[in-house]
Amino acid sequence: MRWLWAPAHYWPIWLGATVGTFLLREIWALASHRTADTLSDWVWNQLHIVTRESITQWSAADLLLFFVYLAVFVGWLPWHFWFRKFT
């Protein structure tokens, strides 16, 4: 059982528990037809995002934040965690 908490193994457990807890709450809100109680609805309201909005209507801050998200969460983090690169 000691190997389970080794640095190479504990982060997927915590990541899975966090994502699982988040998804459980989101699915419960959607299943009970309370879409306004979801985190995604709150984020969309805070960012003033409307459906079918063209990317040409985004501000410079929106584009910068989007590309930072792509670089960190889509590019660097998977390579860092799964392939042990870019440390």
Residue spans of the domains in the chain: they are 1-49, 53-87
Q: What is the pLDDT along the chain (87 residues), one digit of tens a residue?
A: 566 666 666 777 778 888 888 888 889 888 998 888 888 788 878 777 777 778 888 889 888 988 999 999 888 888 887 877 655
- Give me the pLDDT at residue 1, please: 57
- Give me the pLDDT at residue 70, please: 92
Q: pTM here?
A: 0.45
- Give me the pLDDT at residue 30, please: 87
Written as one string, the DSSP assignment of the chain is -GGGGSHHHHHHHHHHHHHHHHHHHHHHHHHTT-GGGSHHHHHHHHTT--TT--GGG--HHHHHHHHHHIIIIIIIHHHHHHH----
